[in-house]
Amino acid sequence: MTLTLIGIHSVKMLRNICRYQRQFGQIIWPFYFPQEKRVRSLSTHLQKARNASATTVRRKFYENVSISQGEGGLFEINLDKRKLKTPGGKLFTVPNEALAIAVATEWDIQKDTLMFYTMHLTTLCNTALDNPTQRTKEQMISAALKFLETDTICFRVEEPPGLVELQRNEWDPVMNWIEQRYNVVIGSSSSIMGPQIPEETKNTFKQHLNSYNLWSLTGFEYVITQLKSLVLSFGLIDRHLSVEQAVVLSRLEEEYQIQRWGNVEWTHDYDMHELQARTAAGVMFVHLSTESTAVKRKILQD
């Protein structure tokens, strides 16, 4: 039997994505849409799921999933004898085998009903291939850098004292890390205007982001959108933070309020685990979209 390995880090992340979706996907899928306002009522979650289920699910129409290498060395996804295509009608192709395996896994774990809202890697590939807004690499980098001006961990509160201390203890180490790692100055502020980010800092991050290809930038921007933080996203991509750590840090004020006042039963877990699944998928997409990604095979005896 041949076992395909995508790398320990990526395999663990893919398993976590699948686990989160199996446990919570039936209820928390509305959080898939980044622009949708998050609600705090379980009944509202359920009602949204019922209302939209007709357009977001489809009965499974295939039995076997496989990958093949096509023209130009690109990899394709096969559903039985059909080749997968994008919503825009393009042939679904990915730049390397590792990413193809990860996407094929998303299709392979689907049951009788296809739950597209759990297939984050497929969605990111569709976005990179179709580029529906026709954005250039420069425009994507500019959009990512705008998050630095409103970065979650740059805005600090002045009260209550417990939250002030929590932000200092949890966010300052991450801020210190990124400033030392990239030799930049970012800072933080309790003013509604936020900190004044030096142009040198922006230029440094711009140069770094420019080193990524268009596919990787698609995933990077997706992670930033989930966490509302460029700093936390860099921490994740550089493997300084785990997905769980980054998500908690991005929701620090909410976590503080929950610890103090409690939360609606189940809702917090749904929100948390879905955000973890989306963030993990984005980080994995960045890593698997790099040209250096390779697939290793190990032969095991049955």
In the prediction, which pLDDT does 210 show? Answer: 96
In the prediction, which pLDDT does 229 show? Answer: 97
In the prediction, which pLDDT does 152 show? Answer: 93
d(CA 235, CA 246): 8
* For helices 42-56 and 8-28, angle between their N-to-C axes, nearest 10 degrees: 100
- Listed as ranges, residues in the chain with pLDDT below 50 are 1-9, 11, 20-54, 299-302
Nearest to 221 by CA among 294, 274, 289, 153: 289
H-type helices in the chain, by residue range? 8-28, 42-56, 97-108, 120-130, 137-149, 161-181, 199-209, 214-227, 230-237, 243-250, 252-261, 267-288
Q: How many CA atoms lie less than 13 Å away from 109 in the CB half-sphere?
A: 18
- Encode pLDDT of 270-299 as tens digits: 788 899 999 999 999 999 998 655 555 554
d(CA 87, CA 79): 16
Nearest to 257 by CA among 129, 171, 163: 163
- Encode pLDDT of 233-258 as tens digits: 999 999 999 999 999 999 998 888 87
Nearest to 217 by CA among 111, 140, 277, 300: 140
Q: What residue ranges define each of the domains in the chain, with the CATH number in brackets?
A: 65-118 (3.30.2180.10), 137-290 (1.10.3580.10)
In the prediction, which pLDDT does 38 show? Answer: 34
Residue recorded with tokens 């930033």: 224
In the prediction, which pLDDT does 185 show? Answer: 96
pTM over the 0.85 mark = no
In the prediction, which pLDDT does 255 show? Answer: 83
In the prediction, which pLDDT does 34 show? Answer: 35
3-state secondary structure of 271: helix
Cα dihedral across residues 221, 130, 16, 3: positive or negative = negative
Tokens coding 77: 């996804």
In the prediction, which pLDDT does 2 show? Answer: 34
* b/e map 111-126, b = 16+ CB within 10 Å: eeebbbbbbbbbbbbb
In the prediction, which pLDDT does 4 show? Answer: 43
